[in-house]
Homo-oligomer: A and B are copies of this chain.
Amino acid sequence: MGIREKVNRELRSGLYTLFILKSVDALGETYGYEIIKYIEKKSNGKIKMKDATVYPVLRYLDRHKILRSFWATTGSGVPRKYYALTDEGKKLLKELMEDYRELEILAKNILEVKE
């Protein structure tokens, strides 16, 4: 794999947890597959997270009380595991958004130097 691709993957992967949390926030009660499609759509098809990336993250956040979850086996179709932000999750997301914006500024300081 090329270096450009490698660095791009590193850049994206750092954002994954934040993307997932924000998606749950925007969608309300939602599930893994929908989150993947949501992010893909919002990024104009540019960011396609792997299911094997998303599902473990969701379970991790669930275990740590950032998300709550329940199975919905209503009617037909494959059962879905729904997730939603807990109060703790909402607080975390708020903090992470502040952290992200601060990091963006720091990155700008480093990356926009002309000398």
Contact = CB atoms under 8 A, between A and B. Distances in A.
Interface of A: 3-4, 7-8, 10-19, 22-23, 26, 39, 42-44, 46-47, 61, 64, 66, 92, 95-97, 99-100, 102-104, 106-107, 109-111, 113, 115
10 cross-chain pairs, A with B, having the tightest CB-CB distances, nearest first: A14-B14, A43-B106, A11-B14, A10-B14, A42-B110, A26-B113, A7-B17, A42-B109, A22-B111, A8-B99
Give chain A's interface secondary structure class: helix
A107 B12 CA distance: 9
A103 B99 CA distance: 17
Nearest to A88: B3
Contact of A115 (B16, B26, B39, B96): B26
